Amino acid sequence: MHSGINRILINYGEIALKGRNYSRFKSRLLNNVRHRLTRAGIDWRVASHHDRVFVEVPEGTAQEMLEQALAAAAEVPGTVWITPVAWRGTEQLYPDGAAPDCALIESLVLAEGQARQPARSDESFAIRVNRADKRFPVRTTTLERQLGTAIIHQGKWQRVNLDAPEQIFAVDIYPEGVYVRSERRRGPGGLPVGSAGHVTSLLSGGIDSPVASWLLARRGCSMDFVHFTAHRVSEQDIDENKVVGLARHLSRYSLRSRLYLVPYVHFDAALMTRPASYELMLFRRFMARTAEQLALRSGAGALVTGDSLGQVASQTLENIATHSSSVSMPVLRPLIGLDKQEIVTLARRIGTYEASIEPYKDCCALISRNPRTRSHHGTLSRIERRVFPDYAGLIEASLADALCVELDSGEVVSVKEMPGDSLDNGAGA
């Protein structure tokens, strides 16, 4: 049993600083939370009252369902903390209109005390009362002492530690009522998806690019993913595909996203007949340009990659410059200044690390050969004119072989052959 939990409070941080755009950001957050829950089969009311966004938990909800809702809400960008609370309105707190019903508060705290299992018998606790509504006539310390004694009498929690408790039972008294809570979970923070435009993210099967994508989702970008494959991917192989799995996972945060699986067989074939040096950078420029075409068709304003300065040969300052100059669109590289260990820590937090380190069957012989750490736009452009005389045709031929996987909130919604020129911007929240 989950005690008297009847609301999930959603704390947002930066949105509150948005001045005149505040309500637009807040309603975007509300919609995204609602959407994410609905996709998980949870149809609860999501509402806001003054500065509080909350989800109403129906009476009699099973613990498992509550857990699911908490986990889903904790993945919505824009949320900083997710807190299950037992809430009672002012009319219940002041049943006769004058004196507060402290026995009601006590029963809510005891229900939480009962629901929380101490890991050890001597695990410490504290009661924290926050009397934000100064009209509440009982002093904070008096109430804390009364509630602490009640918890001890209940028998589960014995050791009080006011300075560094392992478990906090908090009572927040606001003008609109009383909130009792005993846990809170961290959300991604940032801004709600859809509030900062649309981007196209180049997703490899590695550790870095999923983290880069997540960072942009957390800054409020809706996104599509592009992944380049050595072979054409068929619809039957979708469920087994590592990158589909990664993109699916990322869509728990990015909500509605598409993944384009683009084979680079035409690029490979051209290079085979006219071998050239700088293959790796030629390949990276091909990926950027093809992704840019997709981005233009879906209304994206930038590309995203998982580059981190100096990590590998293709990510030296010179090579990053020649990569960028192959396209007109800005290329966002949110990992540029991070160390590998920091990226790994984020990947674990996001939940992509395990999938990223799985072996990947779609082997990439081309990009492992003889990488150069320096390149120049002029040199590469000359080589490109020789090797790929019809670059636009190369891109079109590659896109014609692509597969488009529609994702939403962690699930594959549909798999389609490429819709040609009719790509519209259906993505984004």
| Smaller CB separation from ligand ATP, 112 or 208 | 208
Answer with the entry of Mg ion, ligand ATP, none that 209 interacts with (C-beta below 5 to 8 A by kind): ligand ATP
266 near ligand ATP (CB under 6 A)? no
Mask 179-218, x = binds ligand ATP (CB under 6 A)? -----------------------xxx-xxxx---------
Residues 216-255 vs ligand ATP: string with x where CB under 6 A? ----------xxx---------------------------
Q: State the minimum distance, in angstroms, from the CB of residue 335 to ligand ATP.
A: 8
CB 85 within 8 A of CB 226: no
132 or 269, CB closer to ligand ATP? 269
Burial class (CB in 10 A: 0-12, 13-18, 19+), 139: exposed
Q: Is 286 in the site for ligand ATP (CB under 6 A)?
A: no
With CB under 5 to 8 Å by kind, the binding choice for 204 among Mg ion, ligand ATP, none is: ligand ATP
Name which position in 172, 208, 224, 384 contacts Mg ion (CB under 5 A). 208
Does the protein bind ligand ATP through residue 306 (CB under 6 A)? yes
Side chain identity at residue 97, one-letter code: G
CA distance 350 to 252: 10
Total chain residues near ligand ATP (CB under 6 A): 18
Residue 116 tokens read as: 């929380």
Binders of Mg ion: how many residues, by CB under 5 A? Answer: 1
The Cα 187–Cα 28 span in angstroms is 16
Pairing relationship of beta strands 167-174 and 124-131 according to DSSP bridges: parallel
Which residue has the closest beta carbon to ligand ATP? 206
Spacing of C-alpha 405 from chain mean position: 19
Q: Is 259 in the site for ligand ATP (CB under 6 A)?
A: no
Binding to ligand ATP in span 4-23, by CB under 6 A: none
Q: To the nearest whole angstrom, how small is the minimum distance from the Cβ of residue 267 to ligand ATP? A: 11
Largest CA distance in the chain: 88
3-state SS, residue 13: coil
Decide whether 2 or 284 has the Cβ nearer to ligand ATP. 284
Q: Is the distance from CB of 198 to CB of 104 less than 8 angstroms?
A: no
Q: What is the CB neighbour count within 10 angstroms for residue 46?
A: 23
User: Which of 139, 144, 80 minimizes the C-alpha distance to 109?
Assistant: 144
Which of ligand ATP, Mg ion, none does 227 bind, CB closer than 5 to 8 A by kind? Answer: ligand ATP
DSSP string over 178-220: EEEES--EE---SB-TTSS-EEEEE--SSSHHHHHHHHHHHBT
The reply to whether 165 sits near ligand ATP by the rule CB under 6 A is no
Cα 119 to Cα 132: distance, rounded to the nearest angstrom = 31
Residues that bind Mg ion (CB under 5 A): 208
Contact set with ligand ATP (CB under 6 A): 202-204, 206-209, 226-228, 287, 305-307, 311-312, 314-315
